[in-house]
């Protein structure tokens, strides 16, 4: 088919990168339409104004080895910035709060931090973890060679299997760490707190998500965000792909019509397409489908982890953490898994132009005023967002497939293995390869 007409449903990073990769794979003759329910692109990439200071309210951190995201940013001539806008030259300090005291905290110098880590966790566990994470990143990075060659995987499980990472899907993080020789205190006071800030989940999530969370914590390589907001990548990709963009347009259903599909919009219109790419977290479960029978595992509703992101412009109360001055508080407070701790993390995310500090509090439940009063002695701006943030990433050998039927694909199947901007972009490239292979075989 020389001029296929492809629908992409969803305008988050998955849908926008799918549109971009589809343009590369199918050429200028293809007609691409992105349907996005909201009034703007981005989905879980969004910026928020907190008392005059813009902050990332959803996906924030991009790892330097995230090849597709890094390429998008460079190709679109966007700027790389520090993930959290601080005073020039300020190093990030981190503390792990166990509900009574800081079980571990970084120091002013690298040497002192290393010494503190050795005293808390010993020499061996951190080294082993660093090696295991670096090995995982190296294995994962082989995916780019496969995809650039045009390989197309039917499912995240097949993709992980090719990379030698399949067992990380059905093994939990604690087991993966134990198999890497990392046990005990370091797991509970480092790996779990990282899982809690990254995914609101502890090391009972699958090994792949655990290892990627630890890589995202800066254990291997450096981190960045996009100047002006990560969602600018989405806007840039759709525009660069020359895709037709229909914002404020919800897709209600997809029906097979002959060799192609009819996409039914909530507003009542129907549009014909040769191929449909779903790039929404719920995928086929949330759509009325007819004439197609996706595999059963794609039709099961799966739970998402709720993360409340609360942004506070104000001054933290040092006494809550047993400290004398607010200035003694680590920039990022991680927490151990303990039901009595009412939040997952508290991090300094920006310094406003008037010098005030903006904090981000992650929690599994909405934050009560009384907790804010305990944590902050003064606050002059408050914003709260409830995210259906990422799947509950339980170990499973039942991750849904990318291929739902010939001509119907689902990028976000990837999320049930691991959910990051980059892995969504990888899944999008894979789906573009699936579409190209199918169109080539049917022409
Ligand atoms: C608080 C938080 C922090 C995070 N931190 C990081 C991080 O630091 N680094 C990282 O890499 N990842 C992070 N993530 C994860 C990352 O944001 C997601 O993996 C990624 O943004 C998912 O993109 P997506 O396009 O797959 O889905 P989404 O961004 O959810 O996009 C789906 C889009 O589809 C649209 N849609 C849904 N249904 C329909 C329909 N029927 N018709 C039309 N449109 C529809 C939605 O409106 C939405 O815009 C974080 C996520 C959250 C919530």
CATH at residue 38: 3.50.50.60
Question: What is the predicted pLDDT for the residue at 120?
Answer: 84
For residues 196 and 89, state if they share a domain. yes
User: Residues 23-34: what's their mean pLDDT?
Assistant: 98
Question: What is the predicted pLDDT for the residue at 188?
Answer: 95
Question: What is the predicted pLDDT for the residue at 258?
Answer: 93
Q: Are 278 and 9 in contact, with CB atoms under 8 Å apart?
A: yes
Q: Could you tell me which of 109, 85, 58 has the C-alpha nearest to residue 233?
A: 58
Final residue of a domain: which of 373, 391, 409? Answer: 391
Name which residue sits closest to atom 1 of ligand 1, judged by CA. Answer: 58
User: Residues 250-269: what's their mean pLDDT?
Assistant: 97
Average pLDDT taken over every residue of the chain: 94
For residues 40 and 54, state if they share a domain. no
User: Ligand 1: does its nearest atom lie under 6 Å from the Cβ of 56?
Assistant: no
Final residue of a domain: which of 391, 409, 432? Answer: 391
Each residue's pLDDT tens digit, 89-123: 455 889 999 999 999 998 877 777 777 777 888 88
User: Residues 51-71: what's their mean pLDDT?
Assistant: 95
For residues 351 and 365, state if they share a domain. yes
Cβ-based burial of 2 (10 A; exposed 0-12, middle 13-18, buried ≥19): exposed
Q: Could you tell me which of 439, 43, 53, 40 has the C-alpha nearest to residue 273?
A: 439
Q: Tell me which of 19, 21, 35, 43 to substitute to probe ligand 1's pocket, judged by most ligand atoms within 8 Å of the beta carbon.
A: 43
For residues 101 and 202, state if they share a domain. yes
Name which residue sits closest to atom 20 of ligand 1, judged by CA. Answer: 421
User: Ligand 1: does its nearest atom lie under 6 Å from the Cβ of 225?
Assistant: no
For residues 324 and 413, state if they share a domain. no
For residues 411 and 373, state if they share a domain. no
Each residue's pLDDT tens digit, 161-215: 999 999 999 999 999 999 999 998 999 999 999 999 999 999 999 999 999 999 8
Final residue of a domain: which of 391, 409, 424? Answer: 391
Question: What is the predicted pLDDT for the residue at 216?
Answer: 85
For residues 80 and 12, state if they share a domain. no
User: Ligand 1: does its nearest atom lie under 6 Å from the Cβ of 389?
Assistant: yes
Domain of residue 283: give its range: 5-45+230-302+400-442
Place of tokens 């409830």: 386
Distance (angstroms) between ligand 1 centre and the Cα of 154 equals 22
For residues 190 and 264, state if they share a domain. no
For residues 56 and 26, state if they share a domain. no
Distance (angstroms) between ligand 1 centre and the Cα of 44 equals 3
Residue 162, C-beta contacts closer than 8 angstroms, at least 6 positions apart: 146, 151, 153
Burial letters 269-294, b for 16+ CB under 10 A, else e: eebebbbbbbbbbebbeebebeebeb
Q: Of residues 388 and 65, which shows the higher confidence score?
A: 388
Query: CATH number of the domain that 220 lies in?
Result: 3.90.660
Give the CA distances from residue 401 to residues 30, 302, 339, 439, in Å, rounded to whole numbers and listed in that order.
25, 14, 35, 19
Q: Are 424 and 441 in contact, with CB atoms under 8 Å apart?
A: no
User: Ligand 1: does its nearest atom lie under 6 Å from the Cβ of 44?
Assistant: yes
Measured from the Cα of 66, ligand 1's closest atom is 11
Q: Tell me which of 195, 265, 284, 421 to substitute to probe ligand 1's pocket, judged by most ligand atoms within 8 Å of the beta carbon.
A: 421
For residues 377 and 346, state if they share a domain. yes
Question: What is the predicted pLDDT for the residue at 116?
Answer: 77
Q: What confidence category does residue 442 fall into, taking pLDDT thresholds of 50, 70 and 90?
A: confident
For residues 75 and 33, state if they share a domain. no
For residues 212 and 323, state if they share a domain. yes
Q: What confidence category does residue 85 fall into, taking pLDDT thresholds of 50, 70 and 90?
A: low
82-91, 293-302, 358-367: range with lowest mean pLDDT: 82-91
User: Is it the case that residue 389 has pLDDT exceeding 80?
Assistant: yes
Place of tokens 């806008």: 85
Q: Are 11 and 44 in contact, with CB atoms under 8 Å apart?
A: no
Per residue, the 3-state secondary structure of the chain, as one string, reads CCCCEEEEECCEHHHHHHHHHHHHHHCCCCEEEEECCCCCCECCCCEEEECCEEEECCCCCEECCCHHHHHHHHHCCCCEECCCECCCCCCCCEEEECCCCEEEECCCCHHHHHHHHHHHHCCHHHHHHHHHHHHHHHHHHCHHHHHHCCCCCCCHHHHHHHCCCCHHHHCEHHHHHHHCCCCCHHHHHHHHHHHHHHHCCCCCCEHHHHHHHHHHHHHCCCEEEECCCCHHHHHHHHHHHCCEEECCCCEEEEEEECCEEEEEECCCCEEEECEEEECCCCHHHHCEEECCCCCHHHCCCCCEEEEEEEEEEEEECHHHHCCCCHHHCCCEEEECCCCCCCCCEEEEEEECCCCCEEEEEEECCCCCHHHHHHHEEEEEEEEEEEEEEEECCCCCCCCCCCEEECCEEEHHHHHHCCCCHHHHHHHHHHHHHHHHHHHHHHC
User: Ligand 1: does its nearest atom lie under 6 Å from the Cβ of 307?
Assistant: yes
Cβ-based burial of 3 (10 A; exposed 0-12, middle 13-18, buried ≥19): exposed
Tally the domains of the chain: 2
Distance (angstroms) between ligand 1 centre and the Cα of 389 equals 7
């Amino acid at each position: 088919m020389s001029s296929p007409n492809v629908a992409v449903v969803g305008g988050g990073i998955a849908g926008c990168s799918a549109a971009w990769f589809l343009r590369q794979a199918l050429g200028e003759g293809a007609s691409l339409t992105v349907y996005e329910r909201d009034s703007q692109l981005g989905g879980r990439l969004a910026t928020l104004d907190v008392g005059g200071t813009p902050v990332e309210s959803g996906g924030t951190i991009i790892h330097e080895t995230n090849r597709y995201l890094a390429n998008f940013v460079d190709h679109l001539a966007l700027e790389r910035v520090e993930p959290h806008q601080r005073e020039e030259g300020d190093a990030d300090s981190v503390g792990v709060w166990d509900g009574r005291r800081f079980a571990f905290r970084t120091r002013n110098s690298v040497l002192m931090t290393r010494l503190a880590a050795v005293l808390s966790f010993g020499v061996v566990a951190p080294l082993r973890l660093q090696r295991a994470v670096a090995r995982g990143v190296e294995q994962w990075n082989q995916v780019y060679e496969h995809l650039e060659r045009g390989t197309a995987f039917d499912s995240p499980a097949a993709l992980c299997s090719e990379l030698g990472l399949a067992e990380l899907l059905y093994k939990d993080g604690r087991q993966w760490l134990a198999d890497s020789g990392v046990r005990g205190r370091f797991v509970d006071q480092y790996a779990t707190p990282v899982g809690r800030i990254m995914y609101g989940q502890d090391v009972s999530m699958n090994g792949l998500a655990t290892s990627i969370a630890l890589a995202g914590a800066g254990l291997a390589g450096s981190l960045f965000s996009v100047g002006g907001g990560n969602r600018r990548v989405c806007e840039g990709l759709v525009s660069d792909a020359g895709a037709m963009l229909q914002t404020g347009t919800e897709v209600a259903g997809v029906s097979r019509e002959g060799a192609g599909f009819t996409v039914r919009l909530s507003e009542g219109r129907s549009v014909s397409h040769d191929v449909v790419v779903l790039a929404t977290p719920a995928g086929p479960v949330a759509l009325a489908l007819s004439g197609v029978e996706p595999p059963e595992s794609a039709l099961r509703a799966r739970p998402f982890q709720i993360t409340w992101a609360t942004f506070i412009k104000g001054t933290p109360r040092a006494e809550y953490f047993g400290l004398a001055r607010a200035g003694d508080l680590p920039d990022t407070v991680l927490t151990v898994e303990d039901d009595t701790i009412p939040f997952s993390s508290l991090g300094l995310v920006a310094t406003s132009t008037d010098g005030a500090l903006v904090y981000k509090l992650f929690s599994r439940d909405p934050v009560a005023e009384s907790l804010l009063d305990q944590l902050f002695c003064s606050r002059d701006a408050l914003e709260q967002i409830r995210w259906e943030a990422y799947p509950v990433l339980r170990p499973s050998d039942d991750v849904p497939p990318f291929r739902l039927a010939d001509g119907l694909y689902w990028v976000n199947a990837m999320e049930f293995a691991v959910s990051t901007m980059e892995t969504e972009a990888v899944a999008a490239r894979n789906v573009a390869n699936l579409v190209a292979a199918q169109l080539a075989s049917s022409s």
